[in-house]
Amino acid sequence: MRTLVDLGDSQIEALDKLSKKDKRSRASLIRQAIDEYLGKQRDKQAGDAFGLWGKREMDGLAYQEKVRNEW
């Protein structure tokens, strides 16, 4: 799928230099950059869930048993 993106002149120049150096197309470099960015965001979101229990004094298993006993 094609997508239009506005880039600044300095970004285009930097991409063109890198493209020549790596012998890859500008589009290939942009796709790689987007993949890396999305991967970092995915990892960040997954990492945000760790440690949610925080500094609670009650053990997670004890809390689970307490809640289940309320049913």
Read off the amino acid at residue 19.
Answer: S
| Residue 12 pLDDT class (50, 70, 90 cuts) | very high
pLDDT at 47: 65
pLDDT at 30: 96
CA distance 61 to 40: 31
pLDDT mean across residues, the chain: 88
CA distance 63 to 53: 11
CA distance 30 to 18: 11
Per-residue pLDDT reduced to its tens digit, 47-69: 666 666 777 777 888 888 888 99
Here the tokens at position 64 are: 């689970």
Q: Which residue has the higher pLDDT, 59 or 8?
A: 8
Read off the amino acid at residue 34.
Answer: I
CA distance 49 to 46: 6
